Structure 1
Amino acid sequence: MAGRARRMEPVARVMHEREREAARRLGEAQARLRARLAERERLEGYRAEYARSLQGAAAVSGARLRDYRVFLERINRALGELERAVEQARAEVEACRRHWLEAQRRSRSVGLAVERLQGLERREEARREQRESDGHAARRLRRG
């Protein structure tokens, strides 16, 4: 049994590195989601500001009203695309979170297995040392 824990340590390191990589990817996905949400918020604010400026105008010509509607439609299309990007980013975050949790679970499982093997090896070593000590003591008693 000696050495099994040592042979498992590289596996534990690989699993830990996979967990760290999954956590890094999750962080990047969360940053992309935050960026999309901030972009959406800015565009919604711009749309509201544009609407207020038009409402504040005393008289609006037909051409200006048509331009306003065309521009507003562009903003609404952009917001629709952004909303799809936000949902895609949320889905990516959730997928990354699931992947990270699974990597974390595997890493912990392998780590616990290594710890158990190390404990078994320590106990086996202690028993071996005790047997040797007992053998030395028995030989001294026979000689003396």
Structure 2
Amino acid sequence: MTQQTPLQTLIGLAQDDVDAAAQRLGRVQRERGEVEAQLQSLLQYRDEYHARFTNSAQNGMPAGNMRNFQAFIDTLDAAIEQQRRLLAAATARVEAAKPEWQRSKQKLGSYEVLQARSDATEAKRTARREQRDSDEHAARALRMRTHGL
């Protein structure tokens, strides 16, 4: 089993951080989507209820029904306003999670660049060593031929 270098350990830890940040970002984005869908449902319901009421009111309506309608619309408006506040908070959580994910991704990228440089340096070193060994082998073979061995 090959031993991990400190840089490889850092890359592994950074990848874990990226994964965790991506999961958090995904979770808050899903939550925001759910809150937004609930808001859209409330808005649609309010519009439909208002349209039904308007159609009914054109034929005449008792004052009690009018008060009930207005009270219900007020309740819906309050729910819509609360849902808008929840959406604003959810949006803020998404916006806070994005830079965290970007920072962790950038950190991982930096470590990966360092690893690539290290790998390239090691590859050059290995290539030079192999070339030197090959040159020495060729020189030995030439010496053996010239000395008649």
Bin of the TM-score, shorter chain as denominator length:
0.7 to 0.9
- Alignment partner of 1:67 is 2:63: no
> Which structure 1 residue ranges, 5 or more long, are not aligned?
none
Residue 24, structure 1, aligned to residue 3, structure 2: no
C-alpha separation between the residues in 2 aligned to 1:22 and 1:43?
Answer: 32
Q: What is the Cα deviation at residue 136 of structure 1?
A: 5.4
Which residue pairs with 2:106 in the alignment? Answer: 105
User: How many aligned residue pairs are there?
Assistant: 141
Structure 2: distance between partners of 1:107 and 1:53: 57
Say which SS state the counterpart of residue 125 (structure 1) adopts. helix
Q: Deviations 1:70-125 (Å, cap 9, x if unpaired)?
A: 11111111111100111111111111111111111111111111111111112123
**Distance across 2 between alignment mates of 1:113 and 1:54:** 67
Q: Give the 3-state SS of the residue equivalent to 1:19 in structure 2.
A: helix
**TM-score relative to the length of structure 2:** 0.82
TM-superposition CA deviations, 1:32-54 (whole Å, max 9, x none) = 11111111111011111111111
Secondary structure in structure 1 of the residue aligned to 2:60:
coil
Matched, 1:47 2:12: no
- Structure 2 stretches of 5 or more lacking a match? none
Q: 4+ residue stretches of structure 1 with deviation over 6 A?
A: none
C-alpha RMSD of matched pairs (Å)? 2.3
Larger-gyration structure (1/2): 2
Q: Give the aligned partner of residue 129 of structure 2.
A: 128
TM score, norm. by length of structure 1: 0.85
Whole-Å Cα distance in 1 between the matches of residues 125 and 37 of structure 2? 59
CA–CA distance in structure 2, aligned partners of residues 46 and 94 of structure 1: 29
> 2:125 & 2:102 partners in 1: Cα distance?
34
Q: Cα offset for 1:64?
A: 1.2
**Percent identity (aligned):** 26
